[in-house]
Structure 1
Amino acid sequence: MIPERGPYPDGAPCWPELTTDDPEAATRFYREVFGWTCKDLGPRVWNYTVCLVDDKPVAGITPPAVGLSSVKAAWTTYLATSDLEASAVRVEANNGKLVILPSMLSNLARCATAVDVEGATFGLWQAETLIGSRLYAKPGGMCWSELYARNTKVADPFYEALFGYEQDQIGDGIDYDYVIWSIGDEPVCGRLRMPYESEGVPAHWKTYFTVDDCDATEARIAPVGGEVLVRAYDMPHGRVAMAADPTGALFAICQHHDERFTG
């Protein structure tokens, strides 16, 4: 029996949600790649699909909200909050913008969607019956989230104002600028300053999913309509690869060998 994740502290990525205009294609893809089973909550809940591993919720798939049909397919990282309204106020007080106002997602959570000072989309998640992903750093579950920022001098203060992250600089901060954001003593997510050669790529959050075997999972992606963008390679915390699903949404996979990132 895989142990379930306990409550997430405020500011921790807790729920990955895919927005796509072709949920059926996405559902078929992730069933094959991660072995997810999927439960459609029906039209009264925006045709929202909850994805599960061993009956434990690990992610959501949804069509775009009304009025946002032109939104590009993407995974959204939801950050846990114990007070959705207060977090939403801090977003706008620090020059972010609410895209979807606080609302109920069935009986699972109260949530909102926002963009930060550079335009990166993220969500806020106040748990009701679902704390977020019930698996963390276990096969099929999320394991890490990163903000890819262009101007760290505005991105870092924005998120610090939202959740009071403590920062641990990795690298020299010049040629390689990566920061681990922690709540207390728990590393919860990272921030990467995008290299200059990625000019034109907008700021964004990226979700990593845990797999038992990175190379074997990578090999399943293309045959079911996805695309491997960066072949599997080794990092200090694990073996990772970057990919896109058939609807164009980007994600990453990771086979861990660093206990700091295993929940």
Structure 2
Amino acid sequence: MIIRTNPWPDGTPCWGDVMVPDPAKAAEFYGSLLGWTVSTGGPETGFYGMAQVSGQSVAGIGQIPPDQAGTPARWTTYLAVSDLDKTVAAISEAGGQVIAPPMDVMSEGRMAIAADPTGAAFGLWQAGRHIGTQATLTPGAPAWNECMTADFEAAKAFYGSVFGYAFGDLSAEGFTYATLDVDGRPVGGLGSLPADGSASPGWVTYFWTDDADGLAARIPGLGGTVLSPPTDTPYGRMVAARDDQGAEFSLIAPNAQTGTQEGWG
């Protein structure tokens, strides 16, 4: 495990939360699957749950507001920013949409929700007391975040303009994919969806596991659904799934191709 105490660099996926009709049910699902311990805040937080691994915060669990009843359960990826207002203005200038304008989250930080021109929604987080994810390279912690879109070039132009990413090309035959690089280091990904509209654009959150097959086998018993069975790739053994309230997420485990990184576990 690697523990972080400083704010994440601008453009880095720094936090993720799942908004669901029943947060207690979500805490039970992910606690059972990923080993999270979830502490719930008071009414001033909307009873927001903070998921921890070994005492380090890794994700959030919130309730879909009553005035948004019927909204599908979903994971949101938050990108770190040091100047929220400036970034929000840049999003509008680049053709994106500001869904929820900047707001203070007590003394924890400031946030906003936006969407890129292709319709993929994401969050922005300007750290206060809460820097975002505190633990990486350990089971149950976030492993990767990627934006999947049917208009790859439009999304690439948008994210490059707003966040100043450099791009690494990982494309293969029939598939377009780029890493989102900050200071020469990949921090996330951008991939292409079929142009036929069979899949909706959005950001995907991956969580580390040391046993992709074991967790995939457990998901149905917890009320979830395995959308894509464990598959080896050059980047790890991957599983795509849906939780018991409909929010989609992915799992990834080190495999023979990747080996284990220093600090794992």
TM-score bracket relative to the smaller structure: over 0.9
Distance 1:180 1:84 in 2: 23
Calculate the TM-score normalised by the size of structure 2: 0.92
> Deviation digits for residues 75-124 of structure 1, max 9, x if unmatched?
00000001111111111111211111111224322111111111111000
> Deviation digits for residues 115-140 of structure 1, max 9, x if unmatched?
11111110001111121111123211
Residue 34 of structure 2 corresponds to which residue in structure 1? Answer: 34
2:242 partner amino acid: A
- Whether 2:75 is the aligned partner of 1:70: answer no
Residue 98 of structure 1 corresponds to which residue in structure 2? Answer: 98
Residue 232 of structure 2 corresponds to which residue in structure 1? Answer: 234
Distance 1:134 1:262 in 2: 17
SS in 2 for 1:187: strand
Is 2:179–2:188's contact at 8 Å kept on the other side of the alignment? yes
Is 1:237–1:261's contact at 8 Å kept on the other side of the alignment? no
SS in 1 for 2:68: coil
SS in 2 for 1:9: coil
Is 1:143–1:261's contact at 8 Å kept on the other side of the alignment? no
- Judge which range, 111-120 or 244-253, deviates more: 111-120
Aligned pairs for 1:123-138 within 5 A: 123-138=123-138
Query: Shift in Å at residue 255 of structure 1?
Result: 0.5
Where does the alignment leave 5 or more consecutive residues of structure 2 unmatched? none
Distance 1:106 1:227 in 2: 36
Is 2:254–2:260's contact at 8 Å kept on the other side of the alignment? no
Query: Shift in Å at residue 69 of structure 1?
Result: 2.8
Matched-pair identity in %:
34
1:223 partner amino acid: G
1:52–1:98 CA distance, 2 compared to 1 (3 A): same
Is 1:209–1:254's contact at 8 Å kept on the other side of the alignment? yes
1:182–1:260 CA distance, 2 compared to 1 (3 A): farther
SS in 1 for 2:67: coil
1:153–1:171 CA distance, 2 compared to 1 (3 A): closer
- Whether 2:195 is the aligned partner of 1:180: answer no
Query: Shift in Å at residue 262 of structure 1?
Result: 7.9
Residue 16 of structure 1 corresponds to which residue in structure 2? Answer: 16
1:90–1:32 CA distance, 2 compared to 1 (3 A): same
Is 1:145–1:205's contact at 8 Å kept on the other side of the alignment? yes
Distance 1:259 1:85 in 2: 41
- Whether 2:262 is the aligned partner of 1:252: answer no
Distance 1:60 1:45 in 2: 12
Distance 2:114 2:69 in 1: 16
Query: Shift in Å at residue 252 of structure 1?
Result: 0.3
Is 1:256–1:262's contact at 8 Å kept on the other side of the alignment? no
> Deviation digits for residues 30-65 of structure 1, max 9, x if unmatched?
010001011111221112111111111100011124
Is 2:2–2:137's contact at 8 Å kept on the other side of the alignment? no
SS in 1 for 2:90: helix
SS in 1 for 2:2: coil
Distance 1:262 1:91 in 2: 36
1:191 partner amino acid: L
1:216–1:64 CA distance, 2 compared to 1 (3 A): same
Q: 2:212 aligns with which of 205, 214, 221?
A: 214
Query: Shift in Å at residue 175 of structure 1?
Result: 1.7
SS in 2 for 1:32: helix
SS in 2 for 1:67: helix
Alignment RMSD (CA, Å): 1.9
Distance 2:47 2:212 in 1: 31
